[in-house]
A and B are shown apart, each in its own frame.
Chain A
Amino acid sequence: MTASASVDPQQTKLLKEFKFDRPLTACHWDPQSRFIFCGAEDFLVHRLDPAGDKRIALAAHESWVRAFGSSIDGQTLYSGGYDGRLIFWPAAADQPQPLHVIEAHRGWIRAIAVSPDGKSVATCGNDLLVKVWDAASGSLVREFPGHASHVYNLIYSSDSSWLFSCDLKGVVNAWSLVADTPRSLVTVAQLHGYDTTFRADIGGARSIAVRSDNGQIALGGITKVSNAFAGVGEIVVALVNPVDGKLERILQSKDKTTGTLWGLAWHPNGFWMGVCGGGGGGWLYFWKGDADDEFFRLKLKNDGRGMSLSADGKHIAVAHADNHLRTYQLR
């Protein structure tokens, strides 16, 4: 992400609202800010321009779409679905047709990451695997087994040499892309709970981001869960040192907001931002990173389920549960 002019999160304003037929599940800014891509509770990828003048639905998934990525030049869109498919699309085509349809995972794809050097695309899913694909051809480059529970999220290091993945139980693994030296980085206990009443696990990194100036990894989700099946828990962000796995800080909300942090980003102006949904409603949170509590939060019209920051750092797209995509301007 390029450096942007200074912004003040407290001046964040709702810019536009776009209504869809179904609740949204994810959203993603094109690196050139030409498009926003959305997943919804249908089997489509929705493409719209930020003005909302032209919308196109891309059909090739057989389940909900929950993960996106873009090539560095923005010419290729990568989408991942609960059908386990990784699909490459010509992002800007008038009527995009799939370039590659890859049966990538047995079970859901939960996340996609694109390497900063643009050479590879990584996916993770319910088959407990992390996989690396050639960003141009779609061929499988590496496969990393090792997680013991569903892999919820992943992200590359800034130099593209490592992949970090986090599973349901908060286990963070580091996978070397230049050597065969995978390592277990840390287990973030705050990101997992077992509800003894309902006899089920809950947790995982529902969102992930990397800090561009020092490589720190942020893992967002739900913590202190007292009722898994009602989603009674607090939003949380765990900041992890990617070198030694040290848990450097737990970010939280001052009022212990009930919900799950579904989206995270590092803003080049030097703060973390996240979107949540759940019992406490939808909020945009802003943390400095040197304090546990947020320095500002913005109430949203509805629960957030995904977030994407534009390349210039001036716009935020939020996928909402009330069938709306909303864009916000950072000023």
Chain B
Amino acid sequence: MQRHRPCGSAEHVHSRRAFFGQTALGSAGLISGLGSVLTGQPAIADQVQSKSRKVLNIFLHGGVSQLETWDPKPNTDTGGPFRPIATSVPGLQICELLPHTAKQMHRLSIVRSLDTKNGDHARGVTEMTTGRGRMPGGDFPHLGAVTARSLMPESFALPGHVLIRSSPGGRNVESEFHSAAYLGPRFASMALYDGNPPKFDDRPGEITDEGDEARNAIRQRASERFTRRRRTAETEAYNFSYTQARELLANRHVFEVSRESASDQERYGTSQFGRHCLLARRLLEHGVPYVQVNHADYDTHHENFDFHIEQLGEFDQPFATLVADLADRGLLADTLICVMSEFGRTPKINKSYGRDHWGTAWSVVLGGATIQPGAVIGSTNANGTAVTDRAVDHGHIFHTILQAVGVDSLGEFEIAGRRFPVADPSRGPISELLT
């Protein structure tokens, strides 16, 4: 077995990608490339109120328009052609492009007052998913990594941080994989492409079950002997990787959305996003603490309205079905739902019927777990050009998500003797949104 030191390099990341997405795991999951390890103790684990809590993050890449979704401004100079519709919350209206979601708004809340002061895609993705501003030379762990680190049981057989997205090829300013930074690669994302399960390769047929067990036992003995003499974080990481590889093989059915009933597949629709939402439900039901589903693309500088019909037409029904299913199956009380983008879109409509990048006054949706349902936090002015009440940013959203699933976002991780704040210490949760 070749050993790799943790380095955070592209090569290292590639190794992890190969492990989870592409490489044959072999009969016993003997792989290389899982270098680093969680070296600190789970300092905040005891503070987590429920280990079964989870986060579902729907990321609408490119920057969805707040005016065509959560904060309509009909018949204003910025409002566009769409009309608001009533929702299941009396007095609350959202855009007519979301008729199915409108029926689920009693389970969700809207934060209409984001002012992130940013119009750059990459920066927006980083800030919204780490809850911090970008710092040269320093990476912060992704929300998924923080969630997995905080909520994933020690003996959990599945990855704690799963990203469901389209296959590479389309524009995606986000890295294909979410960094866990100092939390260690155990908590980095595992990517599932196009709703497909990871590529599992069965062990060669000539290796029997008994043979497989025997060679794994040899590996374990060697590892234990090595550990007795020189126990390091790296050895623990490698042992974890072997164990997880075997468990992944044993649990491959969890990733097979085709096992869902025909009626459920029909309810979620035939679009790729629908399939992704059904897979997300499946993963959440199996206890995966963090699932992110990406939907692209909303970067509509040209013909914003036509493209929002197209993209939100894909988004609306599967998303609403997923919210309803989580509620019906008793999962919503433990599952935080977030719908975010890297920023919103300009209130001003450009000459090409487009909207441009806009981080000054836009919206995020939260729901489930201990999020107060049916609430609206903050507001914008009459034509949506400025926040008029309760301005918040990515830092506040990050804190709120974590607090809603019982993580003390004001606490610290202890990693190899060093302490790292769980979230930006200069921010805090939107407390009035938490029950």
Binding site for B on A (CB under 8 A): 21-23, 41-43, 62-64, 82-83, 107-108, 126, 150, 196-202, 228-231, 260, 277-279, 302-303, 321-322
Contacts and interface: CB of A to CB of B under 8 A. Distances in A.
Interface string B229-260: 00000000000000000000000000000000
B299 interface: yes
B352 A196 contact: no
Contacts of A196: 169-170
B83 A199 contact: no
Contact of A63 (B83, B297, B302): B83
A197 B170 contact: yes
A201 B302 CA distance: 12
B77 A229 contact: no
Given A82-B81, A229-B302, A199 B351 contact: no
B62 A229 contact: yes
B296 A229 contact: no
B166 A199 contact: yes
Contacts of B75: 42-43
B307 interface: yes
Contact of B299 (A82, A198, A202, A322): A198
A37 to B, nearest CB: 18
A63 B97 CA distance: 14
A229 B349 contact: no
Contact of A200 (B82, B297, B352, B354): B297
Number of chain B interface residues as a range = 20 to 34
A320 to B, nearest CB: 9
30 contacts: A21-B77, A22-B77, A41-B349, A43-B75, A63-B81, A82-B81, A82-B82, A107-B309, A126-B309, A150-B309, A196-B170, A198-B62, A198-B171, A198-B299, A199-B166, A199-B296, A200-B297, A229-B62, A229-B297, A229-B299, A229-B301, A229-B302, A229-B307, A230-B302, A231-B302, A231-B352, A231-B354, A278-B351, A303-B352, A322-B351
Q: What DSSP secondary structure best describes chain B's contact surface?
A: loop
B96 to A, nearest CB: 9
Residue of A108, A126, A200 with most partner-chain B CB within 10 A: A200
The 6 A-B pairs at the shortest CB distance, nearest first, are namely A231-B302, A82-B81, A321-B351, A64-B81, A198-B297, A197-B171
Interface in B127-166: 166
Interface in B248-305: 296-297, 299-303
Given A229-B297, A229-B301, 16 more contacts: A41-B80, A42-B75, A63-B82, A83-B83, A197-B171, A198-B170, A199-B170, A200-B311, A202-B303, A228-B307, A229-B300, A231-B303, A231-B352, A231-B354, A260-B352, A277-B351
Contacts of B80: 41
Nearest to B314: A199
Interface in B169-208: 169-171
Nearest to B166: A199
A266 B81 CA distance: 30
B120 interface: no
Given A43-B75, A82-B81, A196-B169, A23 B310 contact: no
Contacts of B311: 200
B351 A302 contact: yes
Nearest to B77: A22
Contacts of A231: 301-303, 352, 354
Given A82-B82, A199-B296, A230 B301 contact: yes
Contacts of A321: 351
Contacts of A201: 310
B81 A278 contact: no
Given A277-B351, A278-B352, A200 B307 contact: yes
Nearest to A23: B349
A83 B300 CA distance: 22
A228 B302 CA distance: 7
B313 to A, nearest CB: 10
A259 to B, nearest CB: 8
Contacts of B299: 198, 229
A228 B183 CA distance: 39
A21 B297 CA distance: 32
Most buried by B among A126, A201, A231: A231
Contacts of B296: 198-199
A275 to B, nearest CB: 13
A11 B301 CA distance: 35
Contacts of A202: 303
A277 B297 contact: no
Nearest to B310: A200
A126 B313 CA distance: 12
A277 B77 contact: no
A278 B77 CA distance: 20
Interface string B54-79: 00000000100000000000010100
Interface in B81-103: 81-83
Contacts of A126: 309
A25 to B, nearest CB: 9
A200 B273 CA distance: 13
